[in-house]
Structures are given as C-alpha cells and as structure tokens.
A and B are shown apart, each in its own frame.
Chain A
Amino acid sequence: MGSHHSDRRQFLTESAALASLAAVGAVQSVSAQTPQADARLKDPLAYGQPSRFDNTVRKSLGNATPINDTALTTPLQDLDGIITPSGLHFLMDHINGIPEIDPKEHRLLVHGMVDRPLTFTMDEIKRFPSVSKVYFLECNANSRPLRGPNGDSVQLVHGRTSCSEWTGVLLSVLLKECGVQRDAQWIIAEGNEANKYTMSIPLVKSMDDILVAYAQNGEPVRPQNGYPLRLVVPGWEAIRSVKWLSRIAVVDTPAMSWHEAGNNADTRPDGKALGFRFELGPKSIITRPSGGQRLPGRGFYEITGLAWTGAGLVTKVEVSVDGGKTYKDAQLQEPVHRFAHTRFRFAWEWNGDEVVLQSRCTDEKGEVQPTIAEAAKILGVTPDYFLQADHFNGIQPWRINRDGSIQNALF
C-alpha cells in the first residue's frame, strides 16, 4: 500500500477484506493461477480514492453466515445518475473467498456440441470486435420487502441491483467461432472459483445479446465482480451472469446445477415450483427521499430514483405523492439505455403533511409494475408471500411523517 493511509473508505474496504480473509483462512488461490510477483494493490495517489468525508459504502445485511462476507448491497440512496461505481457494485456469491486469478494464466474453454472446441487466452478474447453496453445486474433475491431492520432502507431492501458500462465480446461471436451444432439448446457457464459455480442459459439468449465482459466502467472488471472475465446476461436475473468465467459447454439439456435446480425455485400455493426464471419484471424505486432519511422541513424537494426492466427499455415512470391514488409522469434522464438503470426525477413541494410517495414503471412491452396487492392477486397468494419470495417487483411506498422521518409503508 502507499503512504496515504488516512482515507477512511480505503481503511474500511481493507478491514472488510481482511475480515473476510480471516473468515475463510486464506484467499483461495486456484492452482497455476498465482498472481505474478509484481501484482499488488494500487497506491491511493496513483489510483484516486473518494474524499475521506464521503462515507458511501456497501453494506452487509448484518446476519453473519460463511457466504455473507461477500453479500453486500449498493448504497442506492447515496448515488446519482445511472452508473454504479465498480467498488459499490452489489455482491452476492455462493463462494468461499474471492479468487485471485492471474489473467495471463486464465483460459476460457468452449466445448461440447460445437464443431471446433477452443480455448481462448485473455489476449485473444480482447482481439475480437468489442462491444460496450450499459446494463444493470439485479439479484433474483433483491427487494425482499422487509430486509434489514424494519426494511427501512433502500440500500438493504433494494440494493442488490447495480448498473455498469460493460465491455467485452458478444458470446455469440465466440460460439460461432466454435460452430454450434444443430441439436444444441443450452449453454452451461462455469466460474473458476473454488466451488466452480455453474449455470445453464438457453442458446437463443446466448446467440443474442450476452456479453463476455473484461471491462467494467472503463477499467478491468474488479476481482469481486469477476476479474478477469465474466458473463453479463442483460435483463435476466444476475445469478446467470457467471463471474470468473472459464468454461462454456454447449449442450442439449440444462445442467440442473444446485443453484438453478431447486435452491432458487419459487414455490407456488398449488405445490408447483418454477425452477427456471429468466427475465426480470419492470421495477422502479424512489431512492431519495427514502426510508431512514429525514426531511429537514417543508419546501422544495426533488424526488429521484431508478427504474429498470428485463424487457429492455423503460418507457415511463410515474410518481405518486398520495399513496397511489394519482400518478404524474416523472422526467427520465436521457439517453435511456435498454437493460439499464434509468434515472427519473420529479419536482415536489412538501407542505408538511403526512404523505406516501411511490413510483411505477412501464416498459417497452407495455408491462406495468404492480402494487404488492396486484402481484399477490396474479399469483393467488397473500402479500406476505413476498417476504421470502424472489423476483419481487412490487411498487415501493415510503411514508413521510409530519416530523420529516421516512418509513417503509409497504406493510
């Protein structure tokens, strides 16, 4: 490390990293992937750090489990615009320690139902035509309604979504290079961390818009986000965007790997379960003002937040300042990107009365974000079903009390 050690954020990050190392004993170093001798942390002057007065950091949900040292949420309430800084991207991994992978040793193997199995080095992958896209990634378990103490912060309830500019090569380009065979239907993507996390993805999506990404927000993908290579599957639950990507098998049936074959299934009142869920529904949340914050007094406020949808484009966000009785269009930050967080803004004058603020997203397929009551009706369940369910995209109401304090008003 360099000499400028007073930076609070740097300290926090390091101690969090040290704590997680302590928890697992040592960094899992995959064999033949020892970093080079000159691999070291960046000097905080050579690589700029935020002000020490700025305490914008990821947060854990609080309950310690062996995998929770990497379960951290994005501070949506403190961010502006649409890009999540890479160091604040949410983390949710089923792993034991972040792997340290030397890109010189890293190989991507593509095999299975292809005419020409191939392994690619990182240098080779970067020689393919590159694509940069602004895409959100959202965990399928984001937005459990009462997560964290009283479910009162946007960070703990909704902070498992983040948005980056990703750069890489289209997966379809790599697959065509190998020649996909006629009866193939799926790919299985595998990471190179100790657990070799695997996920199955239909071939139609793989031949469409999936990125094999090596850069995030202009720099190499951060280790916690999949360095040196990861999948980015736009609009789909982020469990399919496999990090530390090292193997792609082209197959005719899905792997039914642990985290797709039941562990993440949503069960239904009729005793059935949906094992595979792909595309995420339209969603929006007001990030300011939001739960846990306090308005200092009556007067002008800008209501702002984020909207996104697995369908592609957010076409409309409406804001209600009367608990959903009436809605008015919010202003969308231009340009609106497909499969990206979309920033909305809405001018508002608070008169000091108790009010409930909420937002509603409509997407390019004409699908509209439901209230929790509407969502429950679709599934034939009571609203408390969503306390544990995944894929919840219901409208989030925040109540402003007369004293300016703000609470989650969902239940």
Chain B
Amino acid sequence: MTIVLGVCATALAQGPTYRFGTAPSQDEIKARDTAISPAGRELPPGRGGVKEGATVYAQKCLACHGPDGTGTKLHRGLIPLGNSKPVKIPGSLVPYATTVWDFINRAMPSTKPGSLTPDEVYAVTAYVLFLNDVIEESTVLDAKTLPEVKMPNRDNFLAVEIDWKPGQRRPLGNYP
C-alpha cells in the first residue's frame, strides 16, 4: 500500500484495500448526522421567537444559567457567549448563529441533552441571542432566518490557515 502524505488530490484514486465495514443506509446516516454547518443547510423545519424562548428558558435553563442568563455560582453566564478571555471582544464571541443553535440542540440542557424539540431550540436560541443584543425582540428564527443572523464578531476571526501542512512552521501570531 502506498501512503502519500497530505495530498488530497491523491484521494481520487482510493479504492478499498481491506474491504472491511458495511455500507450504511441513507436513513442511518441521516439519523446520526445532526450537525448544523454555518450555512445552515441541515436545519430542520420549525420556528421560534424571543417570547417563546423566554418561556423555554425559564423552564429548562434558568436553574443553571440564572435569570437573564447572567449565571449562577456553579455555572457560567450566557453573557457574553464564550469564555471571558484576557482581552474580551464585547458581545457574542462565536462567529455563526448556527453554532449557538447546534450547541444548544446537542448539549443543552446539560442534564438532558438532545431533549429539546426544533421549535424549542429555535425559540431559546432567539432568546439567548436577544440577551446578547444580537437580534431584536421581534425576530423569529427558522431555517431561513437563523443563518442570516450576522454575529457581531463574524469578521474578527483570523482566517483558518487551510493551506497549512503538517510539518510546516506555525504561522506567526499562532505562537506561542
């Protein structure tokens, strides 16, 4: 078997060598692939606004994240999103609103991850984004409007060095 390191183009000629494994059905893949990418193509139908979100929050999130998302002793607050870092970027840190949706959908509430309906996730995401001054109180989120939300720090992230190859020196600024 020849191993060509780090060159994607060689992938084209990859044939099965060992023939282990089973082909999954499309349904199986669909059931297991719940990730939402920044473009939001995979978002399910459903909708929710800030007001419904406040209700979901009071029932399922407040106990840990505190009133208005300001946090309790045991839990981080939701304002601003992300860790507090030496130099804080004010407001919400994550570059895509789909990330907030995806994280709440897969990981929250942390005692029962995956238990929220799509409507509840849209609604409580709207509430969290409203708390972070990202959207207006009247905004309703769905598969179309969520990816259109522009997060305040979208343009403040330095580009991913996609050309970077293992073994190359780290780009300056990626150091230490």
- Residue numbers of A with Cβ under 8 A of B are 24-25, 64-66, 94, 96, 109-111, 115-120, 124-125, 127-128, 172-173, 175-182, 184-185, 188, 190, 194-196, 198, 202-205, 207-209, 246-247, 249, 251, 253-258, 261-269, 271-279, 281, 312, 365, 367, 370, 375, 378-379, 381, 384-389, 391-394
Contact = CB atoms under 8 A, between A and B. Distances in A.
Interface of B: 3, 5-9, 11-12, 14-18, 20-24, 28-29, 32-35, 37-39, 64, 74-75, 81-89, 93-96, 98-100, 102-103, 106-107, 110-111, 113-114, 153, 156-158, 160-162, 164-167, 169-170, 173-176
B156 A272 contact: yes
Given A195-B106, A273-B89, 11 more contacts: A66-B74, A96-B110, A118-B23, A173-B18, A178-B14, A204-B8, A253-B39, A256-B98, A257-B35, A274-B173, A394-B176
B99 A116 contact: no
B25 to A, nearest CB: 10
A261 B94 contact: yes
A376 B21 CA distance: 50
B87 A188 contact: no
A279 B170 contact: yes
Nearest to A365: B169
B21 A256 contact: no
B8 A263 contact: no
Contacts of B166: 204-205, 208-209
Contacts of B174: 274, 277-279
A281 B33 CA distance: 34
Contacts of B175: 281, 367, 378
Nearest to A115: B14
29 contacts: A94-B107, A96-B111, A118-B22, A119-B28, A173-B18, A175-B14, A176-B11, A176-B14, A184-B8, A185-B8, A204-B165, A208-B6, A255-B102, A256-B96, A256-B99, A257-B102, A258-B99, A258-B107, A265-B93, A267-B88, A267-B89, A267-B93, A269-B87, A271-B89, A275-B158, A278-B174, A281-B175, A387-B86, A388-B84
Nearest to B24: A119
A266 B8 contact: no
Contacts of B98: 256
Contacts of B17: 173, 176-177
B21 to A, nearest CB: 4
B16 A117 contact: no
A24 B110 CA distance: 9
B99 A261 contact: yes
B38 A256 contact: yes
Q: When A and B form their complex, which 4 residue pairs have the shortest distance between CB atoms, in order from nearest?
A: A118-B21, A262-B94, A258-B103, A180-B11
A261 B96 contact: yes
A258 to B, nearest CB: 4
Given A111-B24, A176-B17, A258 B94 contact: yes
A379 to B, nearest CB: 8
B36 to A, nearest CB: 8
A249 B33 contact: yes
Nearest to A209: B166
A16 to B, nearest CB: 18
Contacts of A265: 82, 85, 93, 157
